[in-house]
Amino acid sequence: MKRSVVLVACLTVCFVASFLFSSCSGKGKMLVTVNGTAITESDLDFLSTINPRLKMQLNTPFGKKQILDNMVEQELLYQAALKRGLQRDASAKAKIELYKKVIIAQAYIESEMKKAAKVYYESNKAEFERLQISDILIKYAAPAQKDTKAKKGAPAPKGKVTRSKEVALKLANEIKAKIEGGMEFAAAAKEYSEDTVTKNSGGELGRVSKNDPRLERRGYGPLLEKAFSMQVGEVAGPIETSDGFHLIAVTKGAELEPFEQVEQGIMMKMSGEERNKILAELKKNAKVVYPGEKKEEKKPEAVKSATPPAPTAPVAPNAPVTPKAPEAPKAK
């Protein structure tokens, strides 16, 4: 319920923005008409530029339908308001002006953040390099996982790894030798890998960056570090992580992602900090006065005399000293 309210509020702001600035072109595939007014694919695209968070929701059929239904509701309410002439209502006009001020202010922040995002991108290009890797995982049982109370000869629970670390390392090296002997890496992954997520896709981990958060969360940092020092087609390993021993192969070399593809991600990452910097700079150069508020007055510095002190007359060299007159005798 709360999520729906937030979505409606967000779409209301977006709807006001499109109304004020007519940024929605209305072009593209028509999705629905409301009393003759078309809502098109480009209208949804425009919403995603106003609020990038909606972009993920638009990528799913359910999410797209939900947003489209909300746009239909907003259009119905808008048409009903026009019929009543509410666009001329003083209160409505005041709210429109308020929304207009908020939207224009936000446009300034976005323009400054785009500049900052571009600077960050140019200074940290290595962060946006992506390569494609595949992985074969061979697990082993940690000492703490071994069931010391298990009866001799009793079968291990289904899916539980019982091999030792040494046996796992030996198996990983044997698989690597088979690959170096001509076996396809993808085929080896399908046959031997114990990573249930990637096994059926030939061990494919997808496109990754040097500090890929998805793999870092899994503790695969050592794989990333090694992968970015490898050539396409090269096989490395075994590499140990908390999951076991890995063999990795680079299937596609590193490529720099275009700024346009990562711009929104950079802006979201730095939004809070950058917004504070923008406001701090504006406040520093602005004169903001609250009525009745006492100002902190600077203590005046000691005023220096504008007239310089009279210079001391120089004593002429070897000038004769005038003798002091003798004192008069004191009366007895």
Contact 137, 238 (CB under 8 A): no
Give the closest residue to 212 by CA, choosing from 269, 131, 135. 131
pLDDT digits (tens, 9 = 90+) for 232-277: 999 998 999 999 999 999 999 999 999 998 998 898 888 888 899 9
pLDDT, average across residues 169-187: 95
**What is the 3-class SS of 174-189, one letter each residue?**
HHHHHHHCCCCHHHHH
Tens-digit pLDDT profile for residues 55-67: 778 888 899 999 9
Residue 46's pLDDT band, with cuts at 50, 70 and 90, is confident
Q: Alpha carbon of 167 to those of 141, 153, 187: distances in Å?
A: 10, 19, 22
Length of the chain in terms of residues written: 332
**What is the pLDDT at residue 327?**
53
Judge whether 133 and 249 are in contact, CB under 8 Å. yes
State the Cα–Cα distance between residues 96 and 19, nearest whole angstrom.
10
Query: Lowest mean pLDDT: which of 52-56, 124-128, 151-155, 175-179?
Result: 151-155
204 token code pair? 């494919």
Q: Which two tokens stand for residue 34?
A: 């409301």
The pair of three-digit structure tokens given for residue 39, joined into one six-digit string = 């809502």
Q: Is 196 helix (H, G, I), strand (E, B) or coil?
A: coil
Q: How many CB atoms lie within 10 A of CB 120?
A: 19
Residue 217 has pLDDT above 50, yes or no: yes
Q: How far is CA 216 from CA 211, 221, 223, 296, in A?
A: 7, 5, 9, 51
Q: Which helix (H) or strand (E) holds 20?
A: helix 2-21
Tell me the longest C-alpha to C-alpha distance in the chain. 139
DSSP H or E stretch at residue 275 = helix 259-284
Say how many CA atoms lie within 13 Å of 131 toward its Cβ: 23
Q: Which domains does the chain have, with CATH numbers?
A: 2-88 (no CATH), 130-145+160-256 (3.10.50.40)
Please report where in the chains the tokens 């220096």 appear, as a residue: 304
The SS3 of residue 241 is strand
Pick the residue with more confidence: 221 or 51?
Answer: 221
Q: Which of the residue ranges 51-55, 110-114, 179-183, 318-322 would you say has the lowest mean pLDDT?
A: 318-322
pLDDT higher than 80, residue 25 = no
